[in-house]
Amino acid sequence: MTIILAPMEGLLDFVLRDILTRVGGVDRCVSEFIRVTNSVLPDRVFIRVVPELLNGGRTLAGVPVRAQLLGSDPVCLADNAASLAALGPHGIDLNFGCPAKTVNRHGGGAALLEDPELLLKIVAAVRRAVPAHLPVSAKMRLGFHDDLRAEECALAIESGGACELVVHARTKADAYRPPAYWERVADIREAVRIPVVANGEIWTVQDALRCREVSGCHSLMLGRGMVTDPGLALAIKAATRPPNQPAWLASESANVGVTWLTLLPLMSDFWRLVCVHLEPRQQAGRLKQWLNFLRRRYPEAEQAYASLRTINCPADVERWLAVLDLGANLSKVNAHP
């Protein structure tokens, strides 16, 4: 199976992509969207959102990244796709799912699901504009107000030449409220011939197994579930290995997971990257944002979040992390005298 790390504006950027792909289990990433309006963007804009372009289109852990474009004008999107393709991404992805009001008000993201003909024109224009070897994929929701045209939209995307379709199993109107309607992903999968990837409400291994069963999709895209549990992709891979796997692999599968002590060095690395790439006023907020997600999986994160909640000065965060690292090292020593 293939596990893809989702694009999430304001959360799953290149910093968190770097950290999460170090853990393992992720086969591919998609960048957060690069918004295209009425001109060809300079290379520095593409590189700012997808700095992996300076590393052969891969994260430092070696995981390939597809760059995602968002817009509504086929010609402008095609021109930007051609410019972006010259920088060496591992594919171009098209955003037909963003629920943000500002994006939708300008006819982008999920708003495009109201116009399947335009979807086809966009995908076809981008497909013609980039080299034949470069994958062109898309991500869509089930619809805007409802899911009545979901299959029609998927068929339009396929007809335009997309090689793969990720379906977030909710409409724009559903936003991020549970449940995700995985059974509708199965309907889309039956309607098209290209590979379909299921996305939405996959928080645990059990969710992943149920999603695969209901949707019929072999591959999954993980978003908030992976941010909450950095070991989720590895655990899903372990749970879906064939039953006749070697004994050593079976033993390894039973012990898959990322403990709090294992996570702490990654958190420190995350903080260092945040300090390098973000403005000081944004730095503490980014760490607290991740800790807020981690509270769902790690009891220790609840206490950590409470301790850091009122801290905004980067120097104070640095001191707090040093104490946390010291405690982690003492725990390791006590566990292995």
Dist. CA 215–CA 188, nearest whole Å: 9
Q: Annotate 200-213 with DSSP letters as a single string.
A: S---SHHHHHHHHH
Is beta strand 219-222 parallel, antiparallel or unpaired with respect to 3-5?
A: parallel
CA distances 31 to 17, 129, 181, 191, Å, are 9, 20, 24, 27
Cβ neighbours of residue 80 under 8 Å, at least 6 residues apart?
Answer: 34, 36, 40, 41, 69, 71
Cβ neighbours of residue 86 under 8 Å, at least 6 residues apart?
Answer: none
Give the CA radius of gyration of the chain.
Answer: 20
Dist. CA 103–CA 111, nearest whole Å: 8
Annotated active-site residue 211? The verdict is no
CA distances 330 to 38, 133, 316, Å, are 56, 52, 21
Angle, CA of 332, 333 and 337, to the nearest 5°: 125
Task: Give the tokens for residue 180.
Answer: 């995700």
Which among 98, 153, 211, 217 is annotated as catalytic? 98
Dist. CA 142–CA 315, nearest whole Å: 45
Cβ neighbours of residue 100 under 8 Å, at least 6 residues apart?
Answer: 9, 109
C-beta separation of 165 from 140 below 8 A: yes
Q: Which residues are catalytic?
A: 98
